Chain A
Amino acid sequence: MTINEIQDELISDFELFDDWESKYEFIIDLGKQFPPLEEQYKTEDNIIKGCQSRVWLNAYMDGDLLKFEADSDAIIVRGLVSMLVKVLSGHTPEQIAKSDLYFMERIGLHQHLAQTRSNGLAAMLKQMKAYGFAFQAKSVNA
């Protein structure tokens, strides 16, 4: 699936919910099901500090594909992080670098991306794209 196909699928998942409670219960469930990042990757280098919650992001190449693993100490942020990983992980660096993420806004969760200082999500997204650019440059140079 392409990045946009995954985004569209998430948007249609969320269309099922007609109140905030079921929407957030779903995000909380996503957070609970998301596999925790192994402790060895919860390093200072991988941490994206928000004012309130912490987010860790680990990136690695698997063949031609850039993959992400992530974690957070707050469960709702964890659920949101899991969606960003679901959408962006496992594509080429170029696709990730060029991606246009619209699903958060369409689901009505864009305020979580705007609160840069408080949850680190916007910084995480920026970092994911930066990895895309960095690995793209590396493969061009190689």
Chain B
Amino acid sequence: MSHNLNIASIRSDFPILNEVVNGKQLVYFDNAATTQKPRLVLDALSGYYEHYNANIHRGIHHLAEKATSAFEQSRKRLQAFLNAEHSEEIIFTYGTTDGINLVASAYGRKFLKEGDEVIISTMEHHSNIVPWQMLCEEKGCILKVIPINDEGELLMDEYEKLLTEKTKFVSVVHVSNALGTINPIKEIIQKAHAVGAKVLIDGAQASSHIEIDVQDLDCDFYSLSLHKIYGPTGMGILYGKRDLLNAMPPYRGGGEMIKEVTFAKTTYNELPYKFEAGTPNIADVVAAKYALDYVDALGKPQIAAHENELLKYATNAVSEIEGLRIIGQAKEKVSVLSFVIDGIHHQDIGVLLDQQGIAVRTGHHCTQPLMNRFNITGTSRASFAVYNTIEEIDRLIQGLHKVRKMLG
């Protein structure tokens, strides 16, 4: 599918793309780590601080009301973004990792017991491994891992074999940050529910590329970060089904999450405030709404069509680089191109591309078990966003030729 986006005009919305790095015009291909922010998000951030900065919910003055209203509008905006049934199912967090920790801690510690099993997959980010390991260690649960094939796709038959009446929780990534693989999460969720397990989806990488409908997916939890969707850093949301969130104990104690406090006993606030102790990241939450407005104005299918064109072009173009091997060749992929070059360390690739003004990510991408599966210590990863162009990919290819020449 082709798109009707005006990429030159989109680029002009992102001031940072004019930066010059090492004497060259910046080529930013580290979008899977974080996306750049359009002008309207930057304006929303400074607008908040310039005009209505106040602590929310308890103030009765004008600024506090304005800030509270903007904050809650963002919640409604995220509810719409995910098509959640209720706005109180949207819990503001510090990011995807925070949301996963919240579930592992608040749900896991209450509802999982010794001998219960938790399933994750080989391609999880450390953020979706370590919280479950911590839980399993504490509760005596068993962690099981869905294997993958050489293309970087989950082995669904093996997944089915892991599912038993002992399975109490399944936590898998929607889109792999290191490979770009889009996982069949709807099927994963259905199969987990069939044995009575709850499911969390790590949506960090998916949310800027794929339309998400949590009701259609029927996932129990979905965690994401706004900074990967052209929004501010330091904030994300956890979606959770209302009944589950209500049944879970609070995760952190403090202000906002209480109804009444005496030294003898504290009663907790209702959703979503029960999980939002302390002054939240108000400015970033407020600005997040504008990022989503920006994405929806362009249209996710349009964005995905452009990114897929870039991916296709880049996948084809890198094949001319001698000794280059793509890691992650799933049939369903987002715009992530992870690769290794025979005899060249990924860090050397990253350093020499940086000298040419090209930003890629190199290393294990916080997926060490996945790297071990492929018998590598890391990859170089170029990940594309809506503002990237074919000309930039040509710069990457030239850059890689230079790397080969210098290190050959």
* A-to-B contact residues, CB < 8 Å: 20-21, 24-25, 28, 51-53, 73-77, 112, 118-119
> Are the C-beta atoms of A51 and B363 separated by less than 8 Å?
yes
> Are the C-beta atoms of A76 and B351 separated by less than 8 Å?
yes
> Are the C-beta atoms of B346 and A52 separated by less than 8 Å?
yes
In the complex, A100 Cα to B371 Cα: how many Å? 38
Indicate if B347 sits at the interface (CB-CB under 8 A).
yes
Q: Which of B22, B347, B355, B402 contacts A74 (CB 8 A)?
A: B347
Indicate if B406 sits at the interface (CB-CB under 8 A).
yes
Indicate if B407 sits at the interface (CB-CB under 8 A).
yes
Query: B368: shortest Cβ distance to chain A, in Å?
Result: 11
Could you give 8 example pairs across A and B, Cβ below 8 Å? Answer: A21-B406, A28-B407, A52-B364, A73-B345, A74-B347, A76-B347, A77-B348, A118-B363
In the complex, A21 Cα to B402 Cα: how many Å? 9
Query: A107: shortest Cβ distance to chain B, in Å?
Result: 14
Chain A residue numbers with a CB within 8 Å of B348 are 74-77
> Are the C-beta atoms of A20 and B407 separated by less than 8 Å?
no
Chain B residue numbers with a CB within 8 Å of A75 are 344-345, 348, 407
Query: B405: shortest Cβ distance to chain A, in Å?
Result: 9
Of all chain A residues, which has the CB nearest B352? A24
- Given the known A-B contacts A53-B345, A75-B407, are A20 and B22 also in contact in the complex, defined by CB atoms under 8 Å? yes
> Are the C-beta atoms of A25 and B347 separated by less than 8 Å?
no
> Are the C-beta atoms of A52 and B378 separated by less than 8 Å?
yes
In the complex, A123 Cα to B400 Cα: how many Å? 29
Of all chain A residues, which has the CB nearest B356? A20
Of all chain B residues, which has the CB nearest A54? B377
Indicate if B362 sits at the interface (CB-CB under 8 A).
yes
Chain A residue numbers with a CB within 8 Å of B378 are 52
> Are the C-beta atoms of A28 and B406 separated by less than 8 Å?
yes
Chain B residue numbers with a CB within 8 Å of A51 are 363-364
Chain B residue numbers with a CB within 8 Å of A28 are 406-407
In the complex, A74 Cα to B377 Cα: how many Å? 11
Q: Which of B347, B363, B377, B407 contacts A77 (CB 8 A)?
A: B347
Q: Which of A20, A53, A118 contacts B355 (CB 8 A)?
A: A20
Q: Which of B345, B346, B378 has the most CB of A within 10 A?
A: B345
Of all chain A residues, which has the CB nearest B377? A73
Query: A53: shortest Cβ distance to chain B, in Å?
Result: 5
Chain A residue numbers with a CB within 8 Å of B364 are 51-52
Query: B170: shortest Cβ distance to chain A, in Å?
Result: 29
In the complex, A44 Cα to B377 Cα: how many Å? 17
Query: B346: shortest Cβ distance to chain A, in Å?
Result: 7
In the complex, A52 Cα to B351 Cα: how many Å? 12
> Are the C-beta atoms of A53 and B347 separated by less than 8 Å?
yes
Q: Which of A51, A53, A77 has the most CB of B within 10 A?
A: A53
Against A, the Cβ 8 Å flags (1 = close, 0 = not) of B361-381 are 011100000000000011000
In the complex, A17 Cα to B352 Cα: how many Å? 16
In the complex, A16 Cα to B205 Cα: how many Å? 45
Query: B367: shortest Cβ distance to chain A, in Å?
Result: 13
Chain B residue numbers with a CB within 8 Å of A53 are 345, 347
Of all chain B residues, which has the CB nearest A75? B348
> Are the C-beta atoms of B345 and A74 separated by less than 8 Å?
yes
Against A, the Cβ 8 Å flags (1 = close, 0 = not) of B22-58 are 1000000000000000000000000000000000000
Chain B residue numbers with a CB within 8 Å of A21 are 355, 402, 406
Query: B268: shortest Cβ distance to chain A, in Å?
Result: 39
In the complex, A112 Cα to B346 Cα: how many Å? 15
6 closest A-B pairs by CB = A74-B345, A74-B347, A52-B363, A52-B347, A53-B347, A20-B355
Chain B residue numbers with a CB within 8 Å of A25 are 406
> Are the C-beta atoms of B347 and A118 separated by less than 8 Å?
yes
Chain B residue numbers with a CB within 8 Å of A118 are 347, 363
Query: A120: shortest Cβ distance to chain B, in Å?
Result: 10
In the complex, A112 Cα to B355 Cα: how many Å? 12
> Are the C-beta atoms of B362 and A52 separated by less than 8 Å?
yes
Q: Which of B344, B351, B407 has the most CB of A within 10 A?
A: B351
Against A, the Cβ 8 Å flags (1 = close, 0 = not) of B1-35 are 00000000000000000000010000000000000
> Are the C-beta atoms of B355 and A24 separated by less than 8 Å?
yes
> Are the C-beta atoms of B406 and A24 separated by less than 8 Å?
yes
In the complex, A76 Cα to B353 Cα: how many Å? 13
Apart from the given pairs A74-B346, A74-B348, 15 other A-B contacts in the complex at a CB distance below 8 Å: A21-B402, A21-B406, A24-B406, A51-B363, A52-B363, A52-B378, A53-B345, A53-B347, A75-B344, A76-B347, A76-B351, A76-B352, A112-B351, A118-B363, A119-B347
